[in-house]
Structure formats: C-alpha cells, structure tokens
Amino acid sequence: MRHLLSAADLDRTTAIQILDTAHELARLTERGVKKLPTLRGRTVVNLFFEDSTRTRISFEAAAKRLSADVINFSAKGSSVSKGESLKDTALTLEAMGADAVVIRHGSSGAPHVLAHSGWISSAVVNAGDGTHEHPTQALLDAFTLRQHLREGKGDLEGVEIAIVGDVLHSRVARSNVLLLHTLGAKVTLVAPPTLLPVGVETWPCDFSYDIDEALTNKDAVMMLRVQRERMNAAFFPSPQEYSRRYGLDRRRMNLLKPDGIVMHPGPMNRGLEISSEAADSEKSVIVEQVTNGVSVRMAVLYMALGGNEISGDAQ
Ligand code: NCD
C-alpha cells in the first residue's frame, strides 16, 4: 500500500491485513510496550488545514509509538494564512524530507492532488477531505465492530449496521459504507430526505427515513454529527425537531440487538444527535473508538512506510 486516499482503495484482503496488524499492535501496547522501533529515522508530517482534535492527536501518537519523527503543521499561524498554495506547502515538505504526509483538508480531493501531483514523493494518508472521505475513521470503526462482534478476527460478513444522521456532509459515512460493504457487512443509512446525498441509491447500502424501524435488531448504530459548519441552508426545521425525529435516546438504543453497540466518531453534539444517556451507556463504545484509532493509524503508517518487522522489543 503506497497511499491511503479512499476506503475504496482497500480490497478485503488488504483491509483485513490492516485490521490484523492493528490488532497485533494493540496487543503489544496492552502488554505495556508503548513504543516500537519500527519507523525510527522516518519523518511523518501531519498537515492539517481543518480543525481537528482526536484525529491529529491520534496520528501523532501513532507515529510516535512507532518511533517516527513527527512534524505537526496546522494552517493557522502558518504561511497558508498568508495565501501560500498547497503546491508550495508540498514543495517545502518535500525539501524537508517527509516520508509520509497525513493530510486533512476542507476541499474534497486535496489528498488525491497531493499524491498524484508529482510535488512530493512521500506516502499520502487522507485524514479527512471535505465531505468526501475519511478512510482511517472507517478502519477504526471496522476494527471496533470486529472486536465486539467477531472477537477481533476476520471480516464482518453478515453484520448489520445503521448509520444515522447528517450523511450528506459526512466523509465518515462515505468511507464507512465503502469499507463495511467490502468487509461483507450490511449497512442502512438513516436520515431525513434533506440530509441524504443525491445518488445515494447507487451506493452499496440501503437507506431509510425511519430510525425506529432501521435500528430494530441491528448489531450496531453509528450516529453522525450534525455538521453545522458545512450547512449553508436550513436542512431541518429546528434542533428540537431533529432530535425528536433522528436523535438516539435510550428507548431507541434498546431497539438494537441485546449485545448491540452504539458508536459515534466524535465530536458529539450531546442533546442533538445523541442523548448523554445513550452516549454514556453500557452499550456505548465511543471512547474505545478513540483508543482503537491509535492502533489502526499505527498499522496504516506501518504499511504505507513499509516499516521493519513488528517486534515487541521496547527501545
Ligand atoms: C469526523 C470528521 O472530522 O470527519 N471526526 C473525526 O475525525 N473524529 C466527524 C465529524 O467531524 O463529525
């Protein structure tokens, strides 16, 4: 694997290989080996043009646990705010000898441009581009589902998942639909008609406007954040109305299978798409998703950079 730009880049074998590598890395971390020498001497640049807390910290922790040198670049306070182009930023990173660039950008397709422009020779990992894709989020979600529903092994054949909320603006939903389909899971998207993208009927999933029906007997529900920063119009009458029609509360959560799980990529709008009661319930794996994100991103960096053999020798 050279770049990771889209969940569609991953066939079932490669996706399972990443999940298995992440599983192995998580096991080592649990054993107390927090740092592996695998990427010693390599440089990973986190190039973040959009705000982020958990994804940036997660990639930073992942790279550091593999002993890479990490450079954090955020557009605010950099020459980007003086109007420097993506091309000039890329040329600077190349001149500094970056081996991998992890990019988050407000424009859909920016990671693709970076990977295929010829400006840089490093591996490119998409950490979220506009409303397009967020493949490492989909991988960490698949990892979390696999831990809970498949004892951390194999694919997700036959697993049934509802993804609920602002699908229109969600790169998390797009990447998850693609990856979960590749892994054999059955996805139902649930949203008001205004928050489903045009052409959703061509996606490899079902869709519904009825949350209660869609959640019944599912293995998992993934709630999406209402992305108000990407909304330029009124997509629903009021927050109260949205919450009543599409919010996850305890009653709805209990429609899932008895061992069904509740997921959310964060950051959550508590009281809007999810109640605190559901977010903090025994069914919620939201905090585990964050933990799993580090192992999965370690696996992605490891595979993109072709690191040395994974071994449990601490440095
Ligand atoms: C997501 C993102 O940035 O796309 N968050 C994340 O990566 N943890 C989802 C979101 O912002 O709602």
pLDDT tens sequence across 13-40: 999 999 999 999 999 888 887 899 999 9
Give the pocket of ligand 1 (CB within 6 Å). 54-55, 128, 134, 137, 171-172, 225, 227, 265-266
Ligand 1 atom at minimal distance to the Cα of residue 128: 4
Ligand 1 atom at minimal distance to the Cα of residue 293: 8
pLDDT of residue 314: 46
Question: What separation in Å is there between the alpha carbon of 136 and the centre of ligand 1?
Answer: 11
Comparing CA positions, the residue from 203, 197, 196 lying closest to residue 182 is 203
What's the token pair of residue 261? 């799980």
pLDDT tens sequence across 33-80: 789 999 999 999 999 999 888 999 999 999 999 999 999 988 776 677
Question: What separation in Å is there between the alpha carbon of 127 and the centre of ligand 1?
Answer: 9
pLDDT at 82 over 70: no
pLDDT of residue 16: 97
Question: What separation in Å is there between the alpha carbon of 246 and the centre of ligand 1?
Answer: 19
Domains of the chain: 7-134+292-305 (3.40.50.1370), 135-290 (3.40.50.1370)
Question: What separation in Å is there between the alpha carbon of 54 and the centre of ligand 1?
Answer: 9
Ligand 1 atom at minimal distance to the Cα of residue 127: 7
pLDDT at 309 over 80: no
CA distances (Å), origin 272, targets 176, 238, 276, 290: 22, 10, 10, 21
The answer to whether residues 248 and 255 touch, using CB atoms and an 8 Å cutoff, is no
Q: What is the mean pLDDT of the chain?
A: 93
pLDDT tens sequence across 180-238: 999 999 999 999 999 999 999 999 999 999 999 999 999 999 999 999 888 877 899 89
Record the pTM: 0.95
* 189 Cβ contact partners less than 8 Å away, ≥ 6 residues apart: 162, 163, 164, 167, 173, 177, 196, 200, 203, 205, 206, 207, 208
Ligand 1 atom at minimal distance to the Cα of residue 265: 8
pLDDT tens sequence across 249-278: 999 999 999 999 999 999 999 999 999 999
Which of 31-35, 136-140, 164-168 is predicted with the least confidence, judged by mean pLDDT? 31-35
